[in-house]
């Protein structure tokens, strides 16, 4: 019970010093972006699991080529 009350007290202290504009900035920074991040990560891992189940040889080839694709993506983002 002590830990619960301490965390509630800490939340109350933090919320006391946040203005509505600060809360809005936090929401803009994490709101939709955080959800999309988890959605894309889950889709990435689900794709690899499905790939290993149905075609493990092709999935291993894709894993071997993935670093090259990442490097090309980084280069393209710097050029564009």
63-72 tens-digit pLDDT: 899 999 999 9
Q: Please count the structural domains in the chain.
A: 1
**CA dihedral sign of residues 68, 70, 73, 78:** negative
| pTM for the structure as a whole | 0.51
Residues whose CB is less than 8 angstroms from the CB of residue 59 and which lie 6 or more positions away in sequence, other chains included? 48, 51, 52
Domain that holds residue 33: 2-79
Indicate the burial class of 51 (C-beta count within 10 angstroms; 0-12, 13-18, 19 or more): middle
Task: Identify the residue whose tokens are 């955080």.
Answer: 34
pLDDT 10s digits, 43-58? 989 998 998 899 989 8
Which among 42, 44, 46, 33 is positioned nearest to 69, based on CA atoms?
44
Cα distance between residue 64 and residue 73, in whole Å: 16
């Amino acid at each position: 019970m002590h830990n619960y009350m301490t965390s509630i007290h800490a939340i109350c202290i933090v919320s006391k010093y946040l203005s509505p504009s600060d809360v809005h900035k936090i929401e803009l920074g994490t709101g939709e972006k955080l959800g999309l991040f988890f959605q894309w990560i889950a889709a990435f891992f689900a794709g690899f699991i499905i790939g290993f189940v149905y075609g493990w040889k092709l999935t291993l080839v894709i894993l071997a080529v993935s670093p090259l694709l990442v490097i090309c993506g980084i280069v393209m983002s710097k050029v564009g």
